[in-house]
Amino acid sequence: MNGKTAVINKLLGLAGLELRQRGRTISDLMAQPRRASAGWVIEYIGTQGVGKTTLNNAVQKCLRTDWFFRSDLGQNGPFAQPSAALEDLHREIYFQKIKRFQKENHNAWKSITVTRQMSRVISESLTILTHDFPRGFILDESLFKNFPREVLKLCGDTPEPLWTKRAFIHLRTRDPDFVVSRYQSRVEERTRRGMPQIPPTEAEVRTRVQEDNVFFDTITEKAQAFGCPVIVIYAEDTQQDNIRKIIDLEKTIRAQA
């Protein structure tokens, strides 16, 4: 980020706005020099609010020359036709999540908002798996993070096609109250910006963290059984220590190429 961009972001921050890089077209991405990371996907997994995006933003500065990130995809969908099997698998993952939301009787607005976000994750996954991109992707919002139950149910017995050349950064917390405090800070910040919201209760956050940990721990164990590179790091540790561990993981992956 150059000095001019930093100043613009500061001014936009005062107005409750943010300047973000526009995603490049698929043709732009395909035209980049080929790197050893090509074909790989590194996914952050972990409960909502634990700090995956914050950590990923810091990591981008170190790894951008060898990897693509989610922001590079923008709103692009696949322009190559996915295989029927891959398309059917993603469709089933998505619709099973919708059915689960219906059974759990979520608030209608919440269900619509979440499933709209999930449709983008599904599209991004199909895009990445359908193209031979010259670099791998590091994703802070991803298929395994957003659909852990569905992935484990539908494709937990074989590494093909989703677990192949896939690595995981499992960001955990030792204490659910760490996530509770982050939620409280986020709500306070949005309220100051004039964007109030109805947050979950502290008890709801703690319950969700505990339930999510079960699924993400299972994904971690399954990934290790399939030989996928995995690291488990903790949100309470210093950002520098966690960045160093991620960079070590990245080096290991490129060395395997």
The overall average pLDDT reported for the chain is 87
Per-residue H/E/C for 76-89: CCCCCCCCHHHHHH
As given in the structure block, the two tokens for residue 112 are 């619509």
How many independent structural domains does the chain possess?
1
Average confidence (pLDDT) over 218-228: 96
Residue 87 sits in a domain whose CATH number is 3.40.50.300
Residue 37, both tokens: 């990371």
pLDDT average, residue stretch 171-177:
94
Contacts of residue 88, defined as CB under 8 A and 6 or more positions apart, other chains included, come to none
Distance between CA 126 and CA 86 in Å, rounded? 8
**Dist CA 48 CA 133 (whole Å):** 28
pLDDT for 219 equals 97
* Full residue range of the structural domain in which residue 226 is found: 3-256
pTM, rounded to two decimals: 0.85
Across-strand partners of 27? Answer: none
- The Cα 106–Cα 17 span in angstroms is 29
pLDDT digits over 131-161, tens only?
999 999 999 999 999 999 999 999 878 898 9
- 9-19 pLDDT, tens digit per residue, is 555 455 444 44
